[in-house]
A and B are shown apart, each in its own frame.
Chain A
């Protein structure tokens, strides 16, 4: 492509409104961090979808891989006693 090397890929996170977490909304290319914020505003918040934007270079993200899926998430799989429904309470006990 004429115009030099491809700009790095950024992942975009938007806080929809006060009180909510930033949520991943997609990605875009930008030459630098500041441009990534400006592009994110134009691409992902044209209709008041957000009050705050985070951008982070995609190559800075470390992710669990599908191959690790079982060993990584297995420890929580067999700990049903961590859930409230594990404990039997008679129906006539109120407010519980």
Chain B
């Protein structure tokens, strides 16, 4: 629903802030028409927009393989999955719009490169095995990230995440099943899976964002109930969940330091290449330019459809009045 600006008397700001903090503190949700601190709103807009853009740009790496899927079954699956990503983007854009930004603004900010999307989508999909690996590792990481977000303090964001999470499970399972099928195949197919996992493992771990000691926004986001876990906590959870899945699949995760730590009750693992991460975030990843150029082209190529629909709606509205 469109937001109505709540006009606040500055004398009451402290009182409003106290009310806001009480609501968040008792685990209640903040809804669009509630008063909220400007920083909370700004943080949410940035996070939800980035999340929405990621879903939309995320259609490209896998969409790359739709025409070359090896069977009708795999093709139908991949089409459904890519369509889901579009749907997830739309749920999230709607949630973001409840904070008073327009869809037009969000689209323009993405196309101008002024709002980010997840750096994982700036890596290429070089083989068909990547479709499976993305489902298993990239959607697996997304699930780790998103399940706690179902309880985020901002109502519309949490509700969007619940819908997204219900569908992500299909994404991860179809990926793992695809990889299992390839692992039952020829040596060449098994090598394709291993090569794909080698390329995606570290970028998938980077999806949780920088380490806690260099993530300045985490503390405030957790105090506001936007984030429920730190980046490093979620990364650890991902590693612990994935290790037995890799064993069952018969692939090696490309990290010589990966080992079970009895004392901690968790796996130890190596340090992702944070320099590479920063480079990709800044725009110098393998596919940054290509992804944005494709998105811009799709947007421009679709302009005539939007114009025609607008003109049709205007004409039928006038005809309705006349008759």
User: Taking beta carbons and an 8 Å cutoff, which residues of A are in contact with B?
Assistant: 1-7, 9, 11, 25-29, 31-32, 35, 42-43, 46-47, 58-59, 61, 63, 65-67
Contact = CB atoms under 8 A, between A and B. Distances in A.
Nearest to B98: A27
B107 interface: yes
Interface stretch (B37-45, B89-97, B278-286): B89-97
Interface residues of B, number: 39
Contacts of A2: 299-300, 303
Interface string B28-42: 000001110000000
A45 B270 CA distance: 42
A1 B104 contact: yes
A26 to B, nearest CB: 5
Interface stretch (B124-132, B231-239, B245-253, B309-317): B309-317
Contact of A63 (B33, B80, B300): B33
Contacts of A29: 103
Contacts, number: 80
A61 B33 CA distance: 14
Given A26-B91, A27-B94, A65 B310 contact: no
A31 B108 contact: no
A67 B12 CA distance: 12
B302 A3 contact: yes
B307 interface: yes
A3 B95 CA distance: 23
B309 to A, nearest CB: 4
B307 A4 contact: yes
A3 B310 CA distance: 9
B72 interface: no
A26 B104 contact: no
Contacts of A26: 91, 94-95, 159-160, 163
B272 interface: no
Interface stretch (B1-9, B62-70, B144-152, B187-195): B1-9
B220 interface: no
Contacts of A65: 4, 6, 33
